[in-house]
Amino acid sequence: MIAWLGLGSNLGEPVAQVRDAITRLASVDGLEVVEVSGLYRTPPWGDEDQADFINAVVRIETLLAPLPLLTLLQTIENEMGRQRTDRRWGPRLIDIDLLLYGSQQFHSENLEIPHPRMHERAFVLLPICELDKTINIPGHGKAEQLLKRLDCSGIFRLDKDEIH
């Protein structure tokens, strides 16, 4: 199954954190990293009193069902030192969100697919559109059309010099 993941970090060395998460994903049996977007510097969303984020999107192919995939993503976050707090949308060492799982819609106590706010977030849709402008966000429409409705100011794709 093709799935899409959103990665973000704004603590420590965010570029290194996102790259480390991608490397960890690529080393998992039953999961293949198919394509990785560029890295984007983005202003914080929701809770604006914090440092800018580094964000990326990864397209994977996986044999894992949605809930085991979510568990894997949370395990990687925990292994990387993610501390969960009550501060919603607060600073984080690493965040790995399951955005899409094929064209499926899935709702459980712990997981909602598509990610419930991805269609409102330019920092998610911009890197998705870099990889596939025609992708459909179930229940919302094409990523490219959704992105046109959003404010992309303050979001910048990092140059190769800024990534190293």
Establish whether 95 is a catalytic residue: yes
> Catalytic residue among 88, 95, 157, 161, which?
95
Query: Is 87 known to be catalytic?
Result: no
Whether 24 is catalytic: no
Q: 109, 128, 132: which is closest to 119 by C-alpha?
A: 128
Question: Which of 19, 24, 82, 121 is labelled catalytic?
Answer: 82
Q: Which residue is catalytic, options 20, 52, 97, 132?
A: 97
Q: Coil, helix or strand for 155?
A: coil
152: left (phi over 0), alpha (psi -120 to 50) or beta: alpha
Compute φ and ψ for 30, nearest 5 degrees: 85, 10
Catalytic residue among 92, 117, 132, 161: 92
Residue 137 CB: number of other CB atoms within 10 A?
A: 21
Active site residues: 82, 92, 95, 97
